[in-house]
């Protein structure tokens, strides 16, 4: 294992630690609220482990924050009206290769992220990750199977789905080509 710490992973860890400290939660309390082990949370906070999308979903749900909020290292930076593609925060899930680029800046009232889901990848999120947000998924390229609870939605380029009441969801790319889609999130109670 390399001793080199990825700056983005380190900032994600620092953000999770700051959110935990803000709530005055112990590691055990965050572990209980999220379903993520204390050891894993400790490794993430120290920048020693890049969390998977599943783990980030569980932590964001526990904090009642969006995944984008935990991932965007620019959240505390001054708001820029122009964000160049190469300057937008890009995070890659070490478990699936799923890549998430934050399109909107921290001052914009909606969070917009571009997702690249590799062939064969499945990314589940718990219902609690959707409880305090309204979301729309828009497929830009490829095919996405979006399972909302027990209901599958087969989406092709140009198709959208507005998420309903919070249920566990799974983003699935069952094809042999990458799927690229956007997630648009607006804070507020889900329908």
Could you tell me the pTM of the whole model? 0.70
Q: Select from 71, 13, 67, 63 the least CA-distant residue to 34.
A: 63
More confident residue, 120 or 63: 120
pLDDT tens digits, 37-76 = 999 999 999 988 888 888 888 898 888 887 877 776 555 5
Domain with CATH 1.10.260.40 in the chain: 7-71
User: What's residue 2's pLDDT?
Assistant: 44
For 49, the token pair is 């482990």
Tell me the CATH number for domain 7-71: 1.10.260.40
Sign of CA dihedral 12, 62, 139, 143: positive
Q: How many CB atoms lie within 10 A of CB 96?
A: 18
CATH of 85-187, one of 2.60.120.10, 3.30.565.10, 3.40.430.10, 3.30.2130.30: 2.60.120.10
Answer with the residue of higher pLDDT: 190 or 163.
163
């Amino acid at each position: 294992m390399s001793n080199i710490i990825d700056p983005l992973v380190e900032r994600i860890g620092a953000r999770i630690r700051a959110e935990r400290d803000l709530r005055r939660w112990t590691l055990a309390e965050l572990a209980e609220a999220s379903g993520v082990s204390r050891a894993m949370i400790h490794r993430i906070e120290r920048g020693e482990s890049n969390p998977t999308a599943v783990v980030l979903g569980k932590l964001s749900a526990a904090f009642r924050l969006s995944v984008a909020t935990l991932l965007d290292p620019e959240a505390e930076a001054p708001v820029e009206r122009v964000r160049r593609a190469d300057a937008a925060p890009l995070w890659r899930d070490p478990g699936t290769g799923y890549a998430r680029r934050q399109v909107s800046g921290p001052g914009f009232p909606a969070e917009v992220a571009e997702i690249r889901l590799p062939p064969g990848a499945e990314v589940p999120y718990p219902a609690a990750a959707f409880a305090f947000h309204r979301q729309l998924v828009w497929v830009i390229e490829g095919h996405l199977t979006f399972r909302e609870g027990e209901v599958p939605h087969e989406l092709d380029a140009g198709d959208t789905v507005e998420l309903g009441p919070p249920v566990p969801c799974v983003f699935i790319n069952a094809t042999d080509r990458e799927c690229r889609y956007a997630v648009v999130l607006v804070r507020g109670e889900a329908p």
